[in-house]
A and B are shown apart, each in its own frame.
Chain A
Amino acid sequence: MLDEGTPLFLQIAEQLSSDIIDGTLTEGSRVPSTNEFAAFYRINPATAAKGINLLVDGGILEKRRGIGMFVTTGARDRLIQARRKEFAEQFIDPLVVEAGRLGIDPDALIEMIRRPTDRRRTAEYEPLISSTPQAPQTAQEGEAS
């Protein structure tokens, strides 16, 4: 669950953010307390607090005195905006570099992005996803050269 690379408190913040973005934590819902996080991840409460406070500072979470931490309204939108900015650097850049190494030109790359469903129907993928055995097909359609 927790890796060695990024600071723990950042990982907590990122985990919470992801949960908010994908809807696991809805706006207005209560977030586990610092101590609950600490116990669950087996980390120091101060570290958990740091992660939570990061989100409080960013307006993603708010503290309601005596009750706990809650997801603010508009949090999801705010997070998505922020993530979009990082998206290019985190995902696109490595993608382009790797594609370049494999000799996949931008057009072919765009094709791959556009038609993920087609790709999945190639022989290479089929045996992995279908439950009934199929007659083997030679890999021809879909796969970009």
Chain B
Amino acid sequence: MTPIVQIDHVTRRYRGMTALDDVSTALQANTITGLLGRNGAGKSTLMRIITGQEFMTTGSVLVDGQSPLENDAVLGRMLFVKESQIYPDIKVKRALEAASWFYPSWDHALAQELVADFELPVSRPIKKLSRGQHSAVGIVIGLAARAEITLFDEPYLGLDAVARQIFYDRLLADYAEHPRTVLLSTHLIDEVANLLEHVIVIDHGRIVADASADDLRGRAVTVNGRTGAVDEFLAHREVLHRQAIGSLASVVVTGPLDDLARARARDLNLDIGPVSLQEFIIRTSGDARERISA
């Protein structure tokens, strides 16, 4: 696994606020990495810095060993689809045509298929499209270009669940045939959980988790049962969240639980359940948490 993007101690400060605080991570080549976090966590800022569109206050970013800032050679291998992408006042088909000039790997047939999938009116000016259609344009460009390093920043604004699923399915299918490095930022975690190989979680400008998706899935479990039994079981475990109703308690703890612990839970008549990626991220976001890394 070779890291194709190296992010070292990147900090981005604006007047009075810190968007990114000493962020260090790496993106592995030919993987789909999810950049997860709440709105305003710093996902967009990080992606903009990776693509040289934003300047870091301190730190460095290396894409394939070079800085992406004003670097045509490196930038030409990247494509960055943002939410609310601003297009010039042109028709959809002109935008697609123009995009194809910039990527030798552009697949025209795929673009046509995607246009049909999203029912895009190609002869209409982009500024007259609905929100969902507008997002679809970005998705078509993002997928058809087959850029070596493709970044999507919440590209599905306005897309309904069906259209979003089309995007995920198409992304997966094309990625399987033509592997590339994909960074997908989203706050709709459950929808994409299964697509991701690696997960980076950002909260308030800091990375709070950076591990494989499989790893993170086992990082927490829910323990349900009578309050007394639950507390006895919890003893020295880190509690991420606690809920109680009557004499029953439901607690989210850091896992994984080994066989011994599971046996003990059974003895105490406790029910052990899984924690979805989304719930895990919700429970570990918020006030400063110990960084969990693979």
B192-250 residues with Cβ-Cβ distance < 8 A to A are 194-197, 213-214, 217-218, 221
- CB under 8 Å from chain B, chain A span 1-33: 2-9
User: Which of A76-84, A93-101, A117-125, A131-139 is near enough to bind chain B?
Assistant: A93-101
| A144–B275 alpha-carbon span in the complex (Å) | 38
A47 to B177, CA, bound (A): 15
- Interface-forming stretch among A38-46, A64-72, A103-111? A38-46
Does B168 make an interface contact (CB < 8 A)? yes
In the complex formed, the residue of A with least CB distance to B190 is A4
Number of interface residues of A (CB under 8 A): 25
How many A-B residue contacts, CB cutoff 8 Å?
Answer: 66
Q: Complex Cα distance A89/B173, Å? A: 39
Residues of A within 8 A of B274 (CB): 3-6
Given known pairs A4-B276, A89-B259, A97-B266, the reply for A45 and B218 (CB within 8 Å) is: no
Residues of B within 8 A of A50 (CB): 214
A44 with B273: in contact, given A7-B214, A39-B169, A97-B267 (CB under 8 Å)?
no
Tell me whether B214 and A42 are in contact (CB under 8 A).
no
Given A45-B172, A45-B176, A94-B266, verify A7-B194 contact (CB < 8 Å).
no
Interface residues contributed by chain B, number (CB under 8 Å): 28
B195 contacts A34, CB within 8 Å?
Answer: no
Residues A46 and B197 in contact, CB atoms below 8 Å apart: yes
SS class, residues of chain A in contact with chain B: helix
B176 touches A5 (CB 8 A): no
Q: How far is the CA of A97 from the CA of B265 in the complex (A)?
A: 11
Contact A44 B217 (CB under 8 A): no
In the assembled complex, the Cα of A8 lies from the Cα of B159 at a distance in Å of 27
* B172 interface neighbour in A7, A9, A42, A93, Cβ under 8 Å: A42
- Are the CB atoms of A39 and B176 closer together than 8 Å? yes
Residue A35 at the chain B interface, CB threshold 8 Å = yes
Q: Which residues of B contact A47 (CB under 8 A)?
A: 194, 197, 213-214
CA gap between A135 and B33 in the complex, in Å: 63
Q: Which of A5, A38, A46 has a CB less than 8 Å from the CB of B273?
A: A5
